Amino acid sequence: MNLYPLKFNPILKERLWGGTKLKDVLDKPIENDITGESWELSAVKGDVSVVANGDLSGASLQDLINKYPEALLGKSVYARFGTEFPILIKFIDAKQDLSIQLHPNDELAKKRHNSFGKTEMWYIMDADKGAELIVGFNKDVTKEEYAKSIEEDTLLDLLNYESVKEGDTFFINTGKMHAIGAGVLLAEIQQTSDITYRVFDFNRRDKNGNLRELHTDLALDAIDYTKKDDFKVTYSDKKDSVNNMVSCPYFNTNILELTKDLELDVEKRDSFTIYMCVGGKATISNEFGSVSIKKGETTLVPAQSKKINIITTSAKLLEVTI
């Protein structure tokens, strides 16, 4: 099968904390004012992406992986993950603060949930004045100190707050306490996992008046209690170049800020390539076809591609591979 660059229908998620930026800034087809997430590329059971362009329109991502595993994923990716797509790609709009949470590592997630862990990264696309993230602790704490803070409702006093602006990038490894703050629109790249341990939700109630479930006990053995400054990503912003942002065992992410066309030789990459457009617009092609994407859209270029051509006069792209 000659697989061209694939674009998928967004999977839109209403959230208690969601807003309207996915519609107003990214032009998503939304009719309410509490949409918090647009899942751009997903093989999570129950939320599998469906192709929106070309002859394969209507096919699910999982169906294509099952039929063309090496051509779509790459031989090494298929050998490592089988037919499980290893990446989940989202845009997230936080009108309100998200709950304070963390994710278990692979070992714990496998043992408890038969799932991958959840390592992730965030690229800030838009931030209101004064917007912040919570990332990690502001000092080393013990498990006992943490448990006491939960009991006494003083957890916020132990957490580290980071002011953010467009272009800021954060790497969130497993076990790290974190929350997206109100007024932040971001692109999220993560392992395929929906395992989240929520530890504090500002005592908010849902539309039915219920408090959301907390995972206090599950979190205790999953938390990294040490203060670390390993989350803010520094990267080159050289234009018309491929600049590395994050390299980890689960994904590699580059940023490309382009003012002209770019041709990439990817014959030896042996991985699919994802492009998230976080600014401008571009047409992306391989030997078998092309797709146009604009800010807020995503495409998957199959691993069988030997060359990728990006046609643009102004685009900012996150490039994700395994």
Q: Is residue 40 part of an annotated ligand binding site? A: no
Catalytic residue check, 198:
yes
Distance CA 242, CA 311 (A): 15
Catalytic-role residue among 15, 80, 198, 269:
198
Q: Is residue 31 part of an annotated ligand binding site? A: no
Q: Is residue 113 part of an annotated ligand binding site? A: no
Please identify every residue annotated as catalytic.
198
Q: Which residues are annotated as a binding site?
A: 103, 120, 178
Q: Which residues are annotated as a binding site for Zn(2+)?
A: 103, 120, 178
